Amino acid sequence: MSKLLKIFKFILQQSQTQPNGWVCTDQENLIMCIFENGKFNDTQKFTIFNDIENPDANKLARIANEMAEWLCSNHYDKVFLYE
């Protein structure tokens, strides 16, 4: 059951404000990342939905890494350009 829930942890949608952009939302941790199609490493910008006082940098890094791994595994074509 937990594997099924993990599938819905992340949502990827086209950006409504950034041309050629994507928005990936982590519904569990309430963090979102906006990036340009095919240029994830160069253009990623994270936003935290909650106003967290003194956020744990290590926890945020783990969350960002988990999102990046999910994106690479499930949407590689949107993260990196094929050459």
Cα of first residue to Cα of last residue in the chain, in angstroms, is 38
**Section 62-74 average pLDDT:** 95
| pLDDT tier at 49, thresholds 50, 70, 90 | confident
**Section 30-54 average pLDDT:** 90
Structural domains of the chain, count: 1
pLDDT digits (tens, 9 = 90+) for 17-32: 999 999 999 998 899 9
Residue 4 has which token pair? Answer: 């099924």
∠ CA 62-65-69, nearest 5°, is 140
The identity of residue 69, as a single letter, is E
- Considering the entire predicted model, what is its pTM? 0.83
Domain containing 22 equals: 2-79
- Report pLDDT for 3: 53
In whole angstroms, what is the distance from residue 43 CA to residue 33 CA? 10
- Report pLDDT for 54: 75
In whole angstroms, what is the distance from residue 78 CA to residue 53 CA? 32
In whole angstroms, what is the distance from residue 33 CA to residue 19 CA? 15
